[in-house]
Amino acid sequence: MPFSLPVQLIRPKRFGDSRGWFTEVYSVPAFEKLGITCTFVQDNHSLSIPAFTLRGLHFQTPPRGQDKLVRCVRGTIFDIAVDIRRGSPTYGQWVGAELSAENGHQLFIPIGFAHGFVTLEDNCEVSYKCSDTYEPDSDGGIRWDDPAIGIDWPLPADTSPELSAKDAVQPLLADFDSPFPYDGRPLAPLA
């Protein structure tokens, strides 16, 4: 199995003709070639009605951690992952990518990373696969606007995102005792 980066931007090929296009969004053999060998057991689908709805930064703690494969099936989002693996040389650093129905890109986010996204237009739908089912007792989060992380969210000036009550009061990274070990793969810029 080839060495893989912890967070990967995946660009599935689209095959088009006069009718539209076709794409294969997930294939075990294709993902194994990228070093992604987890088994997905749950699919989630969300609708965010107003533009600049922000969901995150979320994760599940061990032993119920979740690898995620995220794609936007309607609209456009800015999707991010934050390294929260204790001992990682890239702890607290983030990467992000624009995912849209138009570009078809996906973001693979492994266990040990907090995940979040902001919608860039109205009526965005996001679909993502998870390697474990939802477990409320393992549910965790970090503040979306933690200055120690410094995510450059693409929000217009003087715009506050639409947040859930839970996301508005998540703890800061400095107050988080990470249960995620570093696996030797530092976070790298998305290719």
Answer whether 181's CB lies under 8 Å from 86's CB: yes
Report the range of poorest mean pLDDT among 4-8, 10-14, 93-97, 139-143. 4-8
Answer whether 38's CB lies under 8 Å from 26's CB: no
Catalytic-labelled residue, pool 58, 91, 105, 115 = 58
CA atoms within 13 A on the CB side of 78: 17
**Per-residue pLDDT averaged across 15-23, rounded?**
94
* Catalytic residue flag (residue 26): no
* Catalytic residue flag (residue 128): yes
Q: Ramachandran region of residue 84, left (φ > 0), alpha (ψ -120 to 50) or beta?
A: alpha
pTM of the model: 0.95
pLDDT digits (tens, 9 = 90+) for 65-86: 999 999 999 999 999 999 999 9
pLDDT of residue 191: 80
Q: Is the peptide bond before 179 cis (omega within 30 degrees of 0)?
A: no
Answer whether 45's CB lies under 8 Å from 125's CB: yes
For the chain, what's the residue count?
191
Of 66, 81, 39, which Cα lies nearest the Cα of 132? 66
User: 3-class DSSP state for residue 106?
Assistant: strand
Taking the C-alpha atoms of residue 51 and residue 129, their distance in angstroms, rounded to an integer, is 23
**Per-residue pLDDT averaged across 95-109, rounded?**
98
How high does pLDDT run on average in the chain? 95
Pairing state between β 54-60 and 68-74: unpaired
Structure tokens given for 52: 């600049």
**Per-residue pLDDT averaged across 171-179, rounded?**
97
Catalytic-labelled residue, pool 91, 128, 134, 182 = 128
Structure tokens given for 121: 């237009």
User: How many Cβ atoms from other residues are within 10 Å of residue 158's Cβ?
Assistant: 5
Answer whether 57's CB lies under 8 Å from 141's CB: yes
